[in-house]
């Protein structure tokens, strides 16, 4: 049973790294007609870089949830992490789709981001379910803040990217609330500060590479 689970997670991880993500929901569409040709070259490049950062975040999310699911013995939590991972896989597919529309690419460092997040998620999971859930809640809260910043920074005419980011933000809020309601503990301030520093380094690197 464990071997089958490991095979399944390996398959998901490989798809995450290579960009072959499956979506269970269609790509969110803007309320207004989006035309990328209305953006300048610089605006398109900036939008693509921001969506590359978001795509990296979803690669990391897949690894985190995979590791936490493997670390827990609770079937209830395994199912909760699986549900969240499936929604995050939608985000992964949506951001990859948007990158292709903007004639851009995912981060070249995706294998590194994935491996690091897998290790972090497994460590968090080994501290117990309540800590693991608290880590999930804090991660999602920080992602929500990050997406708020992207909504401010996206070009005004990039309605397509904005629609995707807005739905991602809604999902992240739901994930954070679910983790807290399930018993997640508040993490110590030094831990949350370290998480912010690591996320800042990742986003700055992924913007370019």
Going by the annotation, the residues of the binding site are 58, 88, 91, 140, 172, 175
Q: How far apart are CA 91 and CA 183, in angstroms?
A: 25
Q: How far apart are CA 15 and CA 11, in angstroms?
A: 6
Q: b/e per residue, 103-138, with b = 16+ CB within 10 A?
A: ebebbeebeebbeebbebbbebbeeebebbbbbbbb
Q: How far apart are CA 138 and CA 133, in angstroms?
A: 9
Q: How far apart are CA 114 and CA 119, in angstroms?
A: 9
**Side-chain-side CA neighbours of residue 89 (13 Å):** 24
Annotated binding site for Fe cation: 58, 88, 91, 140, 172, 175
């Amino acid at each position: 049973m464990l071997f089958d689970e490991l095979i399944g997670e390996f398959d998901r991880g490989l798809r995450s790294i290579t960009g072959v993500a499956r979506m269970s929901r269609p790509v969110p569409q803007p309320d207004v007609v989006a035309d990328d040709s209305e953006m300048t070259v610089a605006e398109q490049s900036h939008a693509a870089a921001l969506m590359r950062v978001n795509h990296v975040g979803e690669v990391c999310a897949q690894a985190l949830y995979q590791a936490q699911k493997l670390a827990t013995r609770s079937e209830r939590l395994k199912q909760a992490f699986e549900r969240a991972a499936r929604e995050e896989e939608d985000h992964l597919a949506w951001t990859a789709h948007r990158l292709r529309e903007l004639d851009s690419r995912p981060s070249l460092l995706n294998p590194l981001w994935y491996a690091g997040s897998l290790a972090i998620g497994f460590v968090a999971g080994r501290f117990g379910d309540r800590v693991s859930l608290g880590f999930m809640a804090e991660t999602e809260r920080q992602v929500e803040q990050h997406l708020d910043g992207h909504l401010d920074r996206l070009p005004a005419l990039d309605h397509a990217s904005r629609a995707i980011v807005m739905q991602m933000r809604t999902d992240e809020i739901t994930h954070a609330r679910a983790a807290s309601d399930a018993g997640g503990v508040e993490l110590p301030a030094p831990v949350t500060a370290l998480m912010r520093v690591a996320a800042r380094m990742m986003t700055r690197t992924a913007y370019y590479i």
